[in-house]
């Protein structure tokens, strides 16, 4: 069996321009931007003569001589027409031809990231930071005003000496709940939490040593370092060891979404992909589920006993109906937020949590999962490429994604770490 391809051949010269830009560079950039099963090569000749009488030779001492170039674009026949339409506008000097190519096989290794990208190309520059002497309440105030959940700690010379994460705040500083819940709490509760943290400094709770990388290192090396050290973010330093940026998982995801080819379209072109990973390969199947008529009290028991943030709601056939997070619960019982806050705090036993109010307890028993669950949920199919999941997570800025089969039956959950580990477990 052969696959129908076409070869576009462009015979031009070095100084040929397209919209004032070097033609061959513009063509390379255009073909790369297509994200299809196409390859482009540029070959430079040594000698040439042209129809206008000009000659060129590699042996000439005249640097103005334009050496000949041959640009070849190999692509599936079905992609030819739109590409030719664009090339007709781009190529203002040269000869363009097309020939058939019967391809017996086309194999390519599937990569999440092109290997050329460097840390400095994707890092967030000038990141927010705190000093070792910064009180923890100020650290929390800063995090509550941002979308991230961790901060670098630097010394007087602006060199990183540690990192403060949400985990550090909870288990070392005694912050009673995660940042997203604090952000949704009443002002008096927020003030109480901040006051309890004001006597501790960043140095006392930070994780050390920090995990950092040079800004001119390859991004692929950075991702592997994140996975090896099991961290969510890398601090970026210059040649003098000073903090210049930060790279998070979301920065990596945005780069993958921007740079990765359309592997779904490529697979439809009968191309053999090696190192392909699917959502079904990485999803967690041991996730927590409840029925729509499960009481909210039972959901809270599950969240408390297993130290989790969300529960999936499924019907008797296993179809996903919604999700319940601790944040949903705080919002659903906003009229008794102090009582609900006690249920969701991490440093009290469940029996103690139930002492604050019989009225709220009765409401928790009466109300069902279907009453408080979030119904408008974003999912991904289990047979999707992990790049599809990355695209969704990036566009929607979500950390976890429910997985369903073709019939909408709930299969499990994936998170950012699992996606990166699957995509980068092979040498890049």
CA 217 and chain centroid, separation? 19
Q: What is the pLDDT of residues 8-26, one digit of tens each?
A: 999 999 989 988 899 999 9
Same domain, 214 and 343: no
- Does residue 212 belong to any structural domain of this protein? yes
| pLDDT at residue 341, as a whole number | 63
What does the pLDDT read at residue 350? 40
Alpha-carbon distance of 132 to 352, in angstroms, equals: 36
Contact 243, 235 (CB under 8 A): yes
Number of domains in the chain: 3
Same domain? For 71 and 144 the reply is no
Choose one of 60, 78, 104: the last residue of a domain. Answer: 104
pLDDT at 309: 76
Instruction: Report the residue count for the chain.
Output: 428
Of 44, 75, 104, the residue at which a domain comes to its end is: 104
Coil, strand or helix: which one is 131? strand
Structural domain for 63, as ranges: 3-104
pTM passes above 0.75: no
Identify whether the C-beta of residue 292 lies closer than 8 Å to the C-beta of residue 65.
no
Helix 219-229 to helix 416-424 angle (10° resolution) is 120
The CATH number that applies at residue 251 is: 3.10.580.10
Is residue 110 one of the residues assigned to a domain?
A: no
Looking at the structure, tell me whether residues 79 and 154 fall in a common domain. Answer: no
- Give per-residue pLDDT as tens, 264-289: 666 666 666 566 678 888 887 767 89
Report the CATH number at residue 60.
Answer: 3.30.70.120
Based on the domain organization, do 321 and 399 belong to the same domain? yes
C-alpha distance from residue 405 to each of 153, 262, 312, 401, 402 (Å): 44, 22, 15, 13, 10
Segments of 302-406 assigned E as strands? 310-314, 320-325, 380-381, 400-404
Based on the domain organization, do 131 and 239 belong to the same domain? Answer: yes
* Same domain? 9 vs 98: yes
- With H, G, I as helix, E, B as strand and everything else as coil, classify residue 323: strand
Residue 271: inside a domain: no
Angle between helices 23-34 and 80-90 (to 10 degrees): 150
For residue 135, the 8-state DSSP code is: B
Single out the residue of 119, 307, 363 nearest to residue 226, CA to CA.
119
Q: Is there a domain that residue 266 lies in? A: no
Residue 331, in any domain of the structure: yes
Contact present, 228 and 220 (Cβ < 8 Å):
no
Q: pLDDT for 138-180, tens place per residue?
A: 999 999 998 888 999 999 999 999 999 999 999 999 998 889 8
User: What's the rounded Cα separation, in Å, for the pair 110 and 242?
Assistant: 36
Domain identity same for 297 and 418: yes
Residue 89 lies in a domain: yes
* Per-residue pLDDT at 388: 87
Q: Which mean pLDDT values do the consecutive 10-residue runs of the chain (428 residues) have?
A: 88 91 95 89 92 82 75 93 96 95 80 80 93 97 91 95 94 90 86 94 93 93 91 94 94 83 63 71 81 91 74 95 86 66 55 56 87 93 88 90 94 88 62
- Say yes or no: 98 and 124 in one domain: no
> What is the average pLDDT value for the chain, to the nearest integer?
86
pLDDT score of 425: 59
Based on the fold, state whether residues 78 and 125 are members of the same structural domain: no
Asked which of 73, 104, 135 is the last residue of a domain, the reply is: 104
Q: What is the DSSP string of 344-365?
A: H-SSS-HHHHGGG-HHHHHHHH
Per the CB < 8 A criterion, the answer to whether 393 and 386 are in contact is no
- Percent of the chain beyond pLDDT 90? 50
Question: Are 201 and 149 contained in the same domain?
Answer: yes
Whether residue 388 is contained in a domain is answered as yes
351 domain residue, yes or no: yes
For the chain, the straight-line distance linking the first and the last C-alpha, in angstroms and rounded, comes to 31
Q: Is the dihedral of CA 401, 407, 410, 413 positive or negative?
A: negative
Task: Please tell me the predicted confidence (pLDDT) of residue 158.
Answer: 95
pLDDT for residue 345: 65
Residues 301 and 404 in one domain: yes
Residues 385 and 305 reside in one and the same domain: yes
Give the C-alpha separation, 257 to 388, whole Å. 9
């Amino acid at each position: 069996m052969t696959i129908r391809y076409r070869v576009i051949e462009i015979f031009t010269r070095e100084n040929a321009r397209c919209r004032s830009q070097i033609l061959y560079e513009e063509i390379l950039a255009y073909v790369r931007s297509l994200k299809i099963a196409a390859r482009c090569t540029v070959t430079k000749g040594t000698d040439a003569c042209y129809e206008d009488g000009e000659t060129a030779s590699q042996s000439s001492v005249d640097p103005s001589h334009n050496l000949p170039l041959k640009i070849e674009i190999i692509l599936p026949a079905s992609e030819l027409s739109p590409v030719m339409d664009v090339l007709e506008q781009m190529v203002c000097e040269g000869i363009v031809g097309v020939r058939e190519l019967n391809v017996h096989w086309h194999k390519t290794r599937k990569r999440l990231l092109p290997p050329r990208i460097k840390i400095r190309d994707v890092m967030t520059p000038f990141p927010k930071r705190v000093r070792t002497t910064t009180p923890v309440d100020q650290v929390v105030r800063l995090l509550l005003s941002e979308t991230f959940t961790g901060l670098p700690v630097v010394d007087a010379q602006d060199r990183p000496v540690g990192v403060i994460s949400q985990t550090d705040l909870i288990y070392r500083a005694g912050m009673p709940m995660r940042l997203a819940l604090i952000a949704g709490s009443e002002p008096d509760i927020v003030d109480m939490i901040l006051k309890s943290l004001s006597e501790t400094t960043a140095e006392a709770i930070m994780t050390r040593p920090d995990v950092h990388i040079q800004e001119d290192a390859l991004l692929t090396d950075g991702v592997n370092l994140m996975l090896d050290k099991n961290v969510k973010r890398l601090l970026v330093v210059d040649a003098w060891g000073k903090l210049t940026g930060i790279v998070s998982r979301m920065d990596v995801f945005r780069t993958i979404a921007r740079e990765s080819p359309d592997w779904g379209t490529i697979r439809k072109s009968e191309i053999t992909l090696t190192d392909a990973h699917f959502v079904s390969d990485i999803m967690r199947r041991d996730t927590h589920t409840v029925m729509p008529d499960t009481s909210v009290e039972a959901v809270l028991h599950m969240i408390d006993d297993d130290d989790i943030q969300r529960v999936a709601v499924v019907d008797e056939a296993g179809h996903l109906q919604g999700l319940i997070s601790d944040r949903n619960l705080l919002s659903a019982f906003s009229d008794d937020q102090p009582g609900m806050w006690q249920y969701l705090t991490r440093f009290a036993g469940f029996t103690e949590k139930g002492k604050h109010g019989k009225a709220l307890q009765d409401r928790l028993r009466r109300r069902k999962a279907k009453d408080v669950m979030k119904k408008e949920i974003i999912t991904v199919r289990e047979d999707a490429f992990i790049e599809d999941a990355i695209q969704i997570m990036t566009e929607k800025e979500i950390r976890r994604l429910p997985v369903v089969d073709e019939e909408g039956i709930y299969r499990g959950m994936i998170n950012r770490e699992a996606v990166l580990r699957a995509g980068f477990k092979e040498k890049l």
